[in-house]
Structure 1
Amino acid sequence: MLVESVVVRPFENSDLPGAAAALVDVHKTDGYPVEGINDPEAWIRSDDTLAAWVAESDGKIVGHVAVMRAHHETAVELWAKQSGDDESHIGVLARLFVVRTARKHATGQQLTEAATAYARARGLRLVLDVMAKDASAIRLYERLGWRKIGETVHHYGDSESIPAVCYVSPTD
């Protein structure tokens, strides 16, 4: 599929099948996510989602991002300790994925900026963790001004784990 242009817009319930198909595609090409691929619709849809967006090209979903409620994730705990913020002022940028054919159109950047604008408007500082193997995602976050706040190990599946890096969003 040749991507001509990408529009980022708020996620709608009717986007779920297309977002799940895009997630399966991304998992095949990049191994992301490391969990949730057996039921991609359930992984995308979470009770902890505050807001989500999709990237669409020619009527097809080519990307997704969500802002989630902060819980006891390592990135949240690191930022709370470093900043003095409590969880009510922290959000988690999560479930960011873009199909390979849409990556040359700043799709990841557009999705990240939509989530960041949402968080700023609500007084939330975003954090995230990204698998250390996902070099292109790390480059995106760093190019957009996200700052590394620590490292962790992401546990998933049947006692599997993978190194991850934690980031906080820029202040402006």
Structure 2
Amino acid sequence: MAFALRPRVDSDVPALVEVLGAQQPTSGYPHRWPLPFPVADFIVRDDQDRAWVAEVDGRVAGHVAVGPVTGDEATAFLDATDTDDASALALVAVLFVDPSVKGRGVGGALLDAAVEWASSQGRLPVLDVLQGAAVDVYRHRGWQVIGELRPDWLPAAVPPMLLMSLPRQQ
């Protein structure tokens, strides 16, 4: 199966809304579903630095974005990475793929694109993830758990989110 990555454009958003909804029942991402705001606002955020889509046979089949860490999450990541400046970090976020292409390298290629871009900017790639199968996928790709965070929206019965980063390049 051949696929291509390219920068996200506004006309991709309706298809991405459909893909996010299609994959949510099996991935559990996003955890809150239905979302309490428009799905497009979950995918496209004002503070994103870059975003990419994967295309398979001419149709949008996946997404990832990179942006700054902000708010309580920034404080948690700064503490966990022993970093003084949040601009040295790049949050890899909103990574999802269509269930029909899962296991074919699309998600890994999207993740690699985000990491490569963040690294090229001299920023440490970081991410947050709910505990579950996705953690093993990230660990397999070299990500390390560096902390935990319990956002206000996360129910008390759900374990805290894990903060992860790639090891710093020496």
- Per the alignment, do residues 6 and 73 of structure 1 end up closer, same or farther by CA in structure 2, a change over 3 Å counting? farther
Alignment correspondent of 1:79 = 77
TM-score (normalised: structure 1): 0.86
Q: Which ranges of structure 1 fall in alignment gaps of 5 or more residues?
A: none
Structure 1 71/102 Cα, relative in aligned 2: closer, same or farther at 3 Å? Answer: same
Aligned residue number for residue 22 of structure 2 = 25
Match of residue 9, structure 1, among 6, 11, 22: 6
Instruction: Report the TM-score when normalising by structure 2.
Output: 0.87
1:78, CA displacement in angstroms?
A: 3.5
Correspondent of 2:136 among 135, 139, 144: 139
Match of 1:153 among 150, 154, 157: 150
Query: Can you list the C-alpha shifts for 1:51-107, whole angstroms capped at 9, x where unaligned?
Result: 001111112211111001121243x33432232241111111110111222122111
Q: Secondary structure at the match of 1:49?
A: coil
Moved more, 35-44 or 4-13: 35-44
Q: SS of the residue aligned with 1:34?
A: coil
Instruction: Give the Cα separation in 1 of the matches to 2:41 and 2:69.
Output: 19
Write the letter of the residue equivalent to 2:50.
A
Q: Distance in 2 between matches of 1:57 and 1:11?
A: 14
Query: 2:77, 2:163 within 8 Å by CA — same for their partners in 1?
Result: no
Does the 8 Å contact 1:10/1:54 carry over to 2?
Answer: yes
Cα deviation, 1:103-123, whole Å, max 9, x if unaligned, reads 221111101110011101111
Structure 1 equivalent of residue 120 of structure 2? 121
Give 1:77-116 correspondences, 5 Å limit: 77-81=75-79, 82-116=81-115
Corresponding residue for residue 63 of structure 2: 64
Q: Indicate the residue corresponding to 1:167 in structure 2.
A: 164
What percent of counterpart residues are identical? 32
Letter in 2 for 1:124: R
Shift of 1:171: 3.1
Question: Could you tell me which residue of structure 1 aligns to residue 48 of structure 2?
Answer: 49
Q: 1:139 to 1:120 in 2, by over 3 A?
A: same
Q: Give the equivalent residue in structure 2 for 1:35.
A: 32
Choose 123-132 or 162-171, whichever is displaced more: 162-171
Compute the displacement of 1:13 (Å).
1.2
Q: Is the 8 A contact 2:53 2:64 kept in 1?
A: yes
